[in-house]
């Protein structure tokens, strides 16, 4: 299995470029000058593998899972589409329609609406309050050149981490990574991004969403916790969230759902962010 983590999430988008990081994640799979759209997926499937990606506020994450003896047949293609993404104009228009539909459908998902509202309530200045998908009116104005600029700026070696795990020799894996991730595109000048610090949360903030078509109510609560620079307390909170609400044996699930039947579902999580 190969994981590629790139520090090119929503938080580094220029002010008026919301959704660019997620849009680019889609366009990476449209290939390079030497790899036509759909060819990478075809190669991965032929070698018994799977591949996918997702975008967060902090990073874009791409993964490739293939048998160990098939890594040489597939990893170079992943490296090429990541480093040499073509972002063709015709594919740009088609994929934008896909993302616009994804945005529209997200507003039909009450869980997504509630979580996005929670983020916006917690983070009123920091990019963590932004929607990763972006907004429909903004995306309609974007051009392929903008995505190429974002790609050439952030998909560079100092922003990229490659992890290989599985039945493969260490030295052989390092050689494969060196070969596949060597031909980086020349950096471009993307408009600078600004990250405004979030002032301390000193009051209780509430938001109420009324939706008459829903038969069940939802309650989300959030707190701003320690970041990546405070690893030890962050790990402690991560463990605590598992004990409280991760799985059937967690305390909140067992007491409120299994024993008392007061809720249909309950869970907790902790995200260690920058």
For 11, the 3-state DSSP assignment is: helix
Q: What is the pLDDT of residues 175-229, one digit of tens each?
A: 999 999 998 988 988 888 888 888 988 999 999 999 888 889 999 999 999 988 8
- Alpha-carbon gap, residue 173 to 179, rounded angstroms: 10
**Residues linked to residue 185 through DSSP beta bridges, in sequence order:** none
Q: How wide is the angle at C-alpha 161 spanned by C-alphas 156 and 162, nearest 5°? A: 115
- Alpha-carbon gap, residue 44 to 1, rounded angstroms: 12
CATH architecture of 2-180: 2-Layer Sandwich (3.30)
Residue 98 tokens, joined: 């896909």
- Alpha-carbon gap, residue 183 to 63, rounded angstroms: 19
The whole-number pLDDT of residue 78 equals: 97
Give pLDDT < 70 ranges for the chain.
none
The whole-number pLDDT of residue 273 equals: 87
Question: What DSSP letter does each residue of 61-82 carry, written as one string?
Answer: EEEEE--GGGHHHHHHHHHHHH
The whole-number pLDDT of residue 99 equals: 97
- Alpha-carbon gap, residue 30 to 35, rounded angstroms: 8
The DSSP output letter for 47 is T
Nearest to 104, CA basis, from 134, 144, 146: 134
CA atoms within 13 A on the CB side of 201: 14
């Amino acid at each position: 299995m190969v994981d590629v983590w790139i520090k090119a999430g929503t938080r580094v988008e220029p002010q008026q470029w919301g959704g660019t990081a997620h849009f680019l994640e889609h366009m990476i799979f449209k290939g390079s000058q030497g790899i036509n759209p759909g060819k990478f997926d075809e190669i991965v499937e032929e070698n018994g593998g799977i591949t996918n990606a997702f975008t967060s506020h902090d990073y874009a994450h791409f993964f490739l899972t293939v048998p160990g003896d098939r890594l040489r047949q597939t990893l170079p293609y992943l490296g090429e589409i990541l480093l040499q993404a073509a972002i063709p104009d015709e594919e740009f228009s088609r994929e934008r329609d896909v993302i616009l539909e994804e945005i529209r459908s997200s507003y039909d998902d009450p869980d997504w609406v509630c979580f996005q509202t929670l983020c916006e309530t917690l983070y009123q200045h920091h990019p963590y309050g932004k929607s990763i998908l972006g907004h429909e009116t903004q995306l309609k104005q974007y051009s392929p050149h903008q995505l190429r600029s974002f790609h050439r700026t952030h998909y560079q070696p100092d922003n990229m981490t490659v992890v290989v795990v599985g039945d493969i020799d260490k030295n052989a894996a390092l050689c494969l990574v060196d070969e596949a991730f060597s031909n980086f595109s020349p950096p471009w000048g993307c408009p600078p991004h600004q990250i405004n610090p979030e002032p301390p949360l000193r009051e209780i903030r509430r938001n109420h969403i009324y939706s008459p078509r829903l038969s069940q109510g939802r309650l989300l609560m959030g707190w701003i916790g320690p970041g990546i620079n405070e690893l030890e307390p962050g790990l402690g909170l991560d463990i605590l969230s598992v004990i409280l609400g991760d799985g059937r044996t967690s305390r909140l699930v067992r007491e409120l759902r299994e024993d008392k039947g007061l809720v249909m579902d309950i869970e907790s999580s902790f995200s260690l962010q920058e």
